[in-house]
Chains A and B, each alone.
Chain A
Amino acid sequence: MTQGVILLAHGSGGKLSHDLVEQLFLRHFTSPALLNLDDSAILEIQNPSPEGDLCKSRISVPHASGGQNARLAFTTDSYVVSPLFFPGGDIGKLAVCGTVNDLSMSGARPLWLSAGFIIEEGLPLADLERVAASMAATAEQAGVQIVTGDTKVVDRGSADRLFINTAGVGLLRPGVEIGGDRARPGDAVLLSGTIGDHGMTIMTHREGLRFDSPLASDCAPLNGLVAVLLAAVPGMVHCLRDPTRGGLATTLNELAGRSRAGIAIDETAVPVSEAVRAACELLGLDPLYVANEGKLVAIVAPEAAEAALAALRAHEYGRQAAIVGQVTGTHLGRVVLRTALGARRVVDMLTGEQLPRIC
């Protein structure tokens, strides 16, 4: 991959992003924990000794061992959303929630976060204050601590106001085995609520698109929701993902691909708010591809589907949860949609960029 240049679409979370990771980064970065390509790396520390070669021999992927030792989940994400402040959240809330959610999707309890700030010369201090306060409030709500940080200031024009990177460490719950490759035919596909709220909020509030709508981002920390789900159906949750960039369609395609299974979803079962539907119609977008920041997809054993649904619905971030489909033993690696009219068609990954700089 030495020809050409980076296009915005390489950052869309869709097909080109995947190609970039697989064809460029994974040729250079080859750690087994990374190769799982889940939202977090899972690192197991056996008999920790500072003198030993922890890197080489004592950190292993979890599926191979019995789970007696401490298992850490570790993840990082960068936030470049524009505008910095939007209905339902801001870049700081997003930066905490995004990393908390990535940790949560591995089944871990998020504990500690880092925060790195890349600030453009000229950013009003009041904006930075507002972002920091929002991060602190969100961290408090999620029960995580921001324990280390870094600040860089760059020349005007070298960044767009404020970029934030957060990394996070969490502790895996004993016995929990969740991964993108664990969906099995017959499993139920659950979605924790309406789709498209975050992406359409950003879309309708960014420069050049000013129309009134009652949209708000769904940006929220999902560790509490994951905790009640795992407690309600222990051992029955096979996959967890938060459908961010690329939307539900891209997330389901990733899961189908990783699990070498098919996924069939029902168009009429996928919850979409009236405001999002209307905004999508106006802009010609498909909500299946629009980003979310406070939703999760859970793939659970069929016998646990109803109990899992009830657990999600009992939580404030899962009130509109629904069973949207099931995992199949046919059309492996593909997602198929039953349309409202009863026809069936493939649902592909996002190609190109749906929205610039939404997270």
Chain B
Amino acid sequence: MKYIDEFRDPALARTLLARIAARATQPVRLMEFCGGHTHAILRYGLRSLLPETVDLRSGPGCPVCVTANADLDRAIALAQVPGLILTTFGDMIRVPGSRQSLQEAKAGGADVRIVYSTLDALRIARDNPARPVVFLGVGFETTAPTVAAAILQAEREGLGNFSVLSLHKLTPPATRAILDAGEVALHGIIGPGHVTTIVGSDAWEFLPGEYGVPVAIAGFEPVDILRAIADLVDMVETGRPAVANSYSRSVTGQGNRTALEVMDRVFEVGAADWRGLGLVPASGLAIRDEFAAMDAARLFAVEPGPTREHPGCLCGGVLRGTVAPPECPLFGRACTPARPVGPCMVSGEGACAAYYQYRQDAP
């Protein structure tokens, strides 16, 4: 398959692994921001192929995982508004909230529908003009522009029954929050490839500039990730932190201006509540007043009840990079993908799900 096979080439991967092994003379701790990277690293078994000096920590780059329980409870309460159709991307429905998951609410009679695109949500709104249709907007800068475009489309069409619960979050402020907290010493960051396609690699200049931490933007194939790790090890060894674009077939310095403009037209930046990080200033996207008629947060007054967290769940630490998934006492015992306790065990981008699904414990 073109554009994929060359980035899974075993010979190229071995060359990069040899380069990393030769250069990584001292221990380096790198954080892969993206859950997509965590999954690729585990799926291809890269951890076991890297030298012991290279320590990889997963980060907060899983939109489903960083959604705070209070916000999830709000979405579940929304789904129970009589007549309302809640549309969502698939991963969200299995995440346990304080009392139940969207999946359980669905089995109990709530009309929750999985969609693959906001266009599907718009179609459902068109097909059900008498019912409110809410799209659960969970995602980073990659998803937010498509949701913004859907809101603009709904406005053009005069779709009065469509609205969005915006829980969108921004990735650079989260990275800053982790570095500011200083809980885990990081020598470099594997930057999110899809997010950076939108925001542009310039958006990460603050990492080397203000924190002295190099960042390498990576794609999601094994060769992409190994190339980013090799770039980071080089920068750590030479003491010259910078933003390396190891995903140049997709990422530019400026990013996708059109997407950013659409996002900015519909959303405004505000504080957001992150699981694991708490309230992070200027890290979320709320719907602007101009589009209040499509803001589900303003349209529906729901009372989700008090927020409860599972006392043993270490998802917060996993998302900050302070806890490796297998270090959680619940991992693989009380918490498995079939019966997840926390969101990191559910999502296709969740670190615990990756460590469990692709575990290497077999001899």
**Taking each of A209, A281, A341, A344, which has the highest tally of chain B beta carbons within 10 Å of its own beta carbon?**
A341
Query: Which residues of B are found within 8 Å of A142, using beta-carbon distances?
Result: none
Given A343-B48, A344-B48, check contact A330 B348 (CB 8 Å).
no
- A88 to chain B: closest CB distance in Å? 21
Asked if A231 lies at the interface with its beta carbon under 8 angstroms from chain B, I say: no
Query: Which residues of B are found within 8 Å of A331, using beta-carbon distances?
Result: 362-363
Query: Which residues of A are found within 8 Å of B13, using beta-carbon distances?
Result: 341
- Give residues 115-172 of B contacting A (CB, 8 Å): 115-117, 120, 123
Whether the pair B358, A281 counts as a contact (CB closer than 8 A) is: no
Number of A-B residue pairs, CB cutoff 8 Å, is 87
Interface size on A, residues (CB 8 A): 34
Asked if A351 lies at the interface with its beta carbon under 8 angstroms from chain B, I say: yes
Select which of A6, A19, A341, A343 is within 8 A of B107 by beta carbon. Answer: A6
Whether the pair A9, B103 counts as a contact (CB closer than 8 A) is: yes
Query: Which residues of B are found within 8 Å of A334, using beta-carbon distances?
Result: 362
Select which of A7, A284, A351 is within 8 A of B103 by beta carbon. Answer: A7
- A197 to chain B: closest CB distance in Å? 16
Whether the pair B103, A278 counts as a contact (CB closer than 8 A) is: no
- Give residues 1-60 of B contacting A (CB, 8 Å): 1, 4, 8, 10, 13-14, 42-46, 48-49
Whether the pair B338, A346 counts as a contact (CB closer than 8 A) is: no
Whether the pair A345, B108 counts as a contact (CB closer than 8 A) is: no
Given A344-B362, A345-B359, check contact A15 B338 (CB 8 Å).
yes
Asked if B254 lies at the interface with its beta carbon under 8 angstroms from chain A, I say: no
Given A208-B116, A351-B337, check contact A345 B8 (CB 8 Å).
no
- A177 to chain B: closest CB distance in Å? 29
- A219 to chain B: closest CB distance in Å? 24
Given A208-B115, A331-B363, check contact A7 B1 (CB 8 Å).
no
Interface string of A1-43 (1 = CB under 8 A from B): 0001111110000111001000000000000000000000000
Give bound CA distance, A112 to B358, whole Å. 43
- B106 to chain A: closest CB distance in Å? 8
Give bound CA distance, A330 to B222, whole Å. 28
**Taking each of A209, A331, A351, which has the highest tally of chain B beta carbons within 10 Å of its own beta carbon?**
A351
Whether the pair A277, B1 counts as a contact (CB closer than 8 A) is: yes
Asked if B356 lies at the interface with its beta carbon under 8 angstroms from chain A, I say: yes
Whether the pair B116, A346 counts as a contact (CB closer than 8 A) is: no
Asked if A127 lies at the interface with its beta carbon under 8 angstroms from chain B, I say: no
Asked if B361 lies at the interface with its beta carbon under 8 angstroms from chain A, I say: yes
Asked if A340 lies at the interface with its beta carbon under 8 angstroms from chain B, I say: yes
Whether the pair A346, B359 counts as a contact (CB closer than 8 A) is: yes
| Secondary structure class of chain A's binding surface, majority of residues | loop
Asked if A348 lies at the interface with its beta carbon under 8 angstroms from chain B, I say: yes
Select which of A4, A341, A352 is within 8 A of B49 by beta carbon. Answer: A341
Whether the pair B360, A16 counts as a contact (CB closer than 8 A) is: no
Whether the pair A351, B361 counts as a contact (CB closer than 8 A) is: no
Select which of B14, B43, B336, B363 is within 8 A of A345 by beta carbon. Answer: B43
Given A278-B1, A351-B336, check contact A343 B49 (CB 8 Å).
yes
- B169 to chain A: closest CB distance in Å? 20
**Taking each of B42, B45, B117, B337, which has the highest tally of chain A beta carbons within 10 Å of its own beta carbon?**
B45
Query: Which residues of B are found within 8 Å of A80, using beta-carbon distances?
Result: none
Give bound CA distance, A55 to B44, whole Å. 52
Asked if A339 lies at the interface with its beta carbon under 8 angstroms from chain B, I say: yes
Whether the pair B42, A345 counts as a contact (CB closer than 8 A) is: yes
Query: Which residues of B are found within 8 Å of A14, using beta-carbon distances?
Result: 338
Whether the pair B45, A339 counts as a contact (CB closer than 8 A) is: yes
Query: Which residues of B are found within 8 Å of A52, using beta-carbon distances?
Result: none
Give bound CA distance, A7 to B359, whole Å. 27
- A19 to chain B: closest CB distance in Å? 7
Asked if B111 lies at the interface with its beta carbon under 8 angstroms from chain A, I say: no
Query: Which residues of B are found within 8 Å of A345, using beta-carbon distances?
Result: 42-43, 45, 358-360
- A279 to chain B: closest CB distance in Å? 11
Q: In chain B, what residue has the closest Cβ to A356?
A: B114
Give bound CA distance, A243 to B222, whole Å. 28
- B347 to chain A: closest CB distance in Å? 11
- B257 to chain A: closest CB distance in Å? 25
Give bound CA distance, A348 to B356, whole Å. 9
Query: Which residues of B are found within 8 Å of A330, using beta-carbon distances?
Result: 362-363
Whether the pair B10, A5 counts as a contact (CB closer than 8 A) is: no
Give bound CA distance, A274 to B3, whole Å. 13
Give bound CA distance, A262 to B107, whole Å. 36
- Give residues 307-345 of A contacting B (CB, 8 Å): 330-331, 334, 336, 339-345
Whether the pair B116, A209 counts as a contact (CB closer than 8 A) is: yes
Asked if B94 lies at the interface with its beta carbon under 8 angstroms from chain A, I say: yes
Give bound CA distance, A7 to B338, whole Å. 12
Given contacts A281-B1, A341-B14, A352-B338, 9 further A-B contacts (CB under 8 A): A8-B107, A14-B338, A15-B337, A339-B43, A340-B10, A341-B13, A342-B10, A342-B49, A346-B362
6 closest pairs, A vs B, by CB? Answer: A343-B45, A331-B362, A351-B337, A15-B338, A5-B107, A345-B358
15 contacts between A and B (CB under 8 A): A8-B103, A14-B338, A19-B338, A331-B362, A339-B43, A341-B8, A341-B13, A341-B44, A344-B360, A344-B362, A345-B45, A346-B357, A346-B359, A346-B360, A351-B336
